[in-house]
Amino acid sequence: MTTTIESPDLIEPEEPGGPGAHGHDVPAHEGGHEHHGPTGILNWLTSTDHKVIGKSYMITSLVTFFISGAMALVIRMQLAGPTSSLVNFQTYNELFTMHGSLMLYLFAGPFAFGGLANYIVPLQVGAPDMAYPRLNALSYWLYLGGASMMTLSFVVAGGAASFGWVAYAPLSNSINSPGTGTDLWLLSLGLTGFSAIFTGVNLVATIFYLRAPGMTMFRVPIFSWNMLVTGILILIAFPVLFGAVVMLFCDRHFGTHIYSVQGGGVPVLWQHLFWFFGHPEVYILALPYFGIVTDIIPVFSRKPLFGYRGMVFATLSIAALSTGVWAHHMFTTGVVLLPFFSLLSYLIAVPTGIKFFNWIGTMWGGQLSFQTPMLFSMGFLFAFLMGGVTGVLLASPPVDFMTHDTYFVVAHFHQVLIGTTVFAGFAGFYFWYPKMFGRMLNERLGKLHFWFLFIGFWVTFVPQYLVGLKGMPRRIADYLTSNGWTGLNQLSTVGAFVIGISFLFFFANLIQSWRKPVPAGDNPWDGGALEWFTSSPPPHHNFTHLPPIRSERPTWDYNHPEHRKDESHGDKRHREHEQKKETVGANS
């Protein structure tokens, strides 16, 4: 049914907030499992509501996250001792390939731009839905299809893909990697790639054209800004991946020789194309999570964001630079220009540094309160700092030649990616869960989750840096006692299991919130952005009323009229003039 949406009404600051916590629960989630009657499933299958699609995305991507995490634990058990025989080498190769693929293609990206962004961005910009709701639904179904295909490729004859998540040619050709598992892997990248492209289009169009009156570009919250830039990056990067995958598929099945030397092709072309997708992809994975943290820190510091415009320009320059650094993954191939790619990689540290400076500046002198979302954001800062600093080391060709393909690199990108997708991702989950479900998560269990994760994280990955410097290559299933890597590997395995345990607290927390719901109200954290203005969970087309939007914190301005001069940017005189005009308007 097509509904024509009228603009929401203005709500003047004198009136109290919107309606209270919503009574009934939104049924659409868990992939329409056995609990729902046919109407429930049909409801889910036909829904074009960005909130339902966002939640479906989140649940699907979290399922792949936990499957993939279980694979990581098997990998760590295999590596806990020398000459281990827990799994055979072929299975081990499949495990690390699928661990990486599921985490990167199916969890990290879709959780951010499909799940959280889908749910939150229309709320933050004051839109009734995404710009193209049916395209949005199509994105999800493509993603679900692709995700199931990749995950289920374990059960086909010959097993899942086993060439690492980067699928370098010629290892990925039909001679070295025969079997349907590899084909399914490639095809599922095609499906999920299109799903990402459609979501990117949707995000860009929503943020450009569906902003509420008064929500100028420089009042859009940073999370939505980052999602805009992520959407543009998706449009730059994913078509390249799709093209590369199609060519690889042609090489495998239709006799082309694009990546094979025999027919005059160039194997290293795959690496170029893959990393031209792959490095922007790193920022497609990182920027949304930067945005989450940027939205959380001001709320728990009781201050407006420090350096709003600096954040926007840092995001834009990170995105621009990310398209020019792909070959720093290929230093050791010997066919790339070392100084150029090294210099550009170093440059990325500058805008990232600006972001760190602004995050700290936001906390500086604020009334900090360390609730679960804030704790996770702090965890992100530490984790990403370590991952980022080792990244700067790796951008230096001499260091990279020493450490390439060792556990040093493994530890580096796990620190970056867990810092963003897990710490910041769960920060966002704890932060917005009350908005999505209208109920709170338990603080004590959330904090236990954080501390176990935080400690487990460092215990897992610091030893991996060390063992990498001792020369342990990545992707090996086995090593000898005489290598001297045993102790550090054991420590790392213990850490991995502590991370595993931390998620038990997360599950307990979810179960508790469903068994004994604590109503959240509209704005449990006293947040400032527009999503906190509507009810929890929001009604079908999000807003029945809107506040006047005069800064990037319209809800805060509305709830705290006494602090309305506390705005972080813009022409103050202009704003005072605005306020005078409004008062006059309200009086007359």
Partner 1 sequence: MFLALIGIFFGIIAIVYWFTAYEDAGFLMLLGSAFLGLLPGGYYLWWSRRMRPLEGDEPDATPSSGAGVIDSFPGSSIWPFLLGMGALFATLTFAFGLWLAPIAVALGLSAVIGGVVESRRGGTV
Contact pick of 213, 243, 263, 353 for partner 1 (by CB under 8 A): 213
Shortest Å distance, C-beta 142 to partner 1: 5
Closest C-alpha among 87, 107, 108, 109 to residue 160:
87
Shortest Å distance, C-beta 574 to partner 1: 8
Closest C-alpha among 166, 213, 203, 214 to residue 186:
166
What tokens appear for 250 in the block?
A: 């042609």
Contact pick of 87, 316, 385, 508 for partner 1 (by CB under 8 A): 316
Contact string 115-134 vs partner 1 (x = CB under 8 A): ----------x--xx---xx
Count CB atoms within 10 A of the CB of residue 360: 12
Shortest Å distance, C-beta 402 to partner 1: 24
Q: Rounded to an integer, what distance in angstroms lies between the CA atom of residue 490 and that of residue 169?
A: 33
Nearer to partner 1, 142 or 488 (CB): 142
| DSSP letters for 151-185 | HHGGGSTT-S--STTTT-TTTTSTTTS-SHHHHHH
Contact pick of 214, 267, 484, 539 for partner 1 (by CB under 8 A): 214
Contact pick of 85, 88, 216, 369 for partner 1 (by CB under 8 A): 216
Chain residues 39-78 in contact with partner 1, contact rule CB under 8 A: 42-43, 45-49
| Residue 340 binds to partner 1 (criterion: CB under 8 A) | yes
Shortest Å distance, C-beta 11 to partner 1: 8
Nearer to partner 1, 194 or 452 (CB): 194
> Which H helix or E strand runs over 9?
strand 9-10
Residue 15 is classified by DSSP as: S
Q: Rounded to an integer, what distance in angstroms lies between the CA atom of residue 204 and that of residue 224?
A: 10
- Rg over CA atoms, the chain: 24
Nearer to partner 1, 46 or 88 (CB): 46
| Residue 262 binds to partner 1 (criterion: CB under 8 A) | no
Nearer to partner 1, 138 or 498 (CB): 138
Chain residues 133-152 in contact with partner 1, contact rule CB under 8 A: 133-138, 140-142, 144-146, 149
Shortest Å distance, C-beta 86 to partner 1: 30
Is the CA virtual torsion 128, 129, 131, 134 positive or negative? negative
Contact pick of 249, 259, 430, 432 for partner 1 (by CB under 8 A): 249
Shortest Å distance, C-beta 445 to partner 1: 36
**β-sheet bridge partners, residue 546:** 10
Buried b (16+ CB within 10 A) or exposed e, 181-205: bbbbbbbbbbbbbbbbbbbbbbbbe
Contact pick of 30, 526, 566, 578 for partner 1 (by CB under 8 A): 578
| Residue 10 binds to partner 1 (criterion: CB under 8 A) | yes
Contact (Cβ atoms closer than 8 angstroms) between residue 414 and residue 429: no
Q: How many residues bind partner 1 (CB under 8 A)?
A: 73
Chain residues 167-196 in contact with partner 1, contact rule CB under 8 A: 180, 183-184, 187-188, 190-191, 194
